[in-house]
Chains A and B, each alone.
Chain A
Amino acid sequence: MNDENGEGLSPIVKIISGMIFPFIMIFSLYVIMHGHLTPGGGFQGGAIGASAIVMLIVAFGARHTEKRAGEEKLSLFESIGGTLFVLVAILGFIMAATFMSNFLVGSAIFGEIPPFGSNPGILNTGGILPILNFAVGMKVIGGLSAVVLAMALVSKEDD
């Protein structure tokens, strides 16, 4: 109401959402990177991250958010995530036998094999799974927030 464009909510909401934004992002990254160990993964973590950006859109207004991170930029982020996914999948049949094969199991990167049965969880496991989780996380953060931003901007056009 009291922004120069008349956008956004009150200063209290703006400051608090600005403060908790980094924490939500870190939590999102945590969920993405522990996808192969705990419940969660790329989609879930990505949805958390996207909700952080949506919170900024609600608090600061769509136009303000667009100046910082436009829908084009966000969807570029998404394209890069998708490309990373396909490239890792294609590396499957260059490095190993088939498309999408988990060629990193047994190698130095993410390649440890955990002991069978219950264990406390070792981060350096899972082969290509953490990489794909990360790619999907990027995709979901970029994509969902771009959709919400585009819809918010279009409904602004009317008035």
Chain B
Amino acid sequence: MSHRTFTITHENLLDVLTNTIAVGNRLVAPVRRGKKLFFRDVQEVQSIVFDFIQSDESPKDLVFPRVEPMLAHEYNAGNVYLIDFAEKLQPLPTILFGTRPCDAVALSLLIEFFNEGVGDPFVEQRAENLTIISIACTRADSYCFCTSVGVSPNDSRGSDVLLTPIDNDQYYGIVLTEKGNAFVKKGGDNFIPSEPKDVAQYIVTLREEFTPQEITQRLANAFNHPLWMDASLRCIGCGTCTYVCPLCSCFDIQDEGTQTKGVRLRCWDSCGFSLFTLHTSGHNPRHIQSERWRQRVMHKFSYIPQNRNLLGCVGCGRCSRLCPADMNLKEHLCTITKEMTEVKADR
């Protein structure tokens, strides 16, 4: 399909969104809750926030909710009956509006991860019903480092429609997928067809601090480097970085209720918690925080690249922005690329 391009005014865009809700779609967009910015179901398009660098929560919970019931059971007179939630699931058609391109990339990678191998009916069905309208970045802060991990501020991967704010309160848009096409079609006249434009001037430029290849190479034998311990001394071992990360996908499976009646839930989990890997025998393969911090970094920048030929990070910077101890991932990666020139392979 050839990419359709268009322009739309801010006002018309709001109209389109209002209409989306009116026809029964679920609209999810960035809104403020106190000082924080979240992706939430929106009823009033006026509440949508356009002027922000990055939301505080990633939109990953649209495909991978923080709690997902997978199964219910009931015991009755010696028999057990199961209810498969995957069979019952009927996700609403959802428009995810206003994501940053990095989040859209992340979502696509997340969906890909869950779908490969045995697959995951929950993520799959939610993803099928999700249309992602992202807005390219015109601003960035020092936490952002998408360009260093192979993502650009106007990356089109993962998005169904990519908007770029241009002059006069207008957006220049590219329709990237069939789902995007459907969205634009419904918007009718509000979208004014346009010739493909070079909008690079509007996009923020972000210095490339390092390259993915660099970081992966450096990490290849950095496992025993003392940097891990030094850099993670201030890490307090909470799960913030993993929970706000658009790509972190580790989860826990928990049963609730009683043996007579209950549900089996899938909940987010974090490799930062000491219990994550604790065996019932008391043995813990990663028993100190530096090992867990190393696992997070290695997993994203060394293990995933080894398996999937891509990084497990899109450089959105949330983990660093929200870290209570100011563990700055970008800074850390810079240190790795600069300082880990000489590493001993102990084993």
The yes or no verdict on A and B being binding partners is no
Q: Which residues in A have some Cβ–Cβ distance to B below 8 Å?
A: none
Residues of B within 8 A of A (CB): none
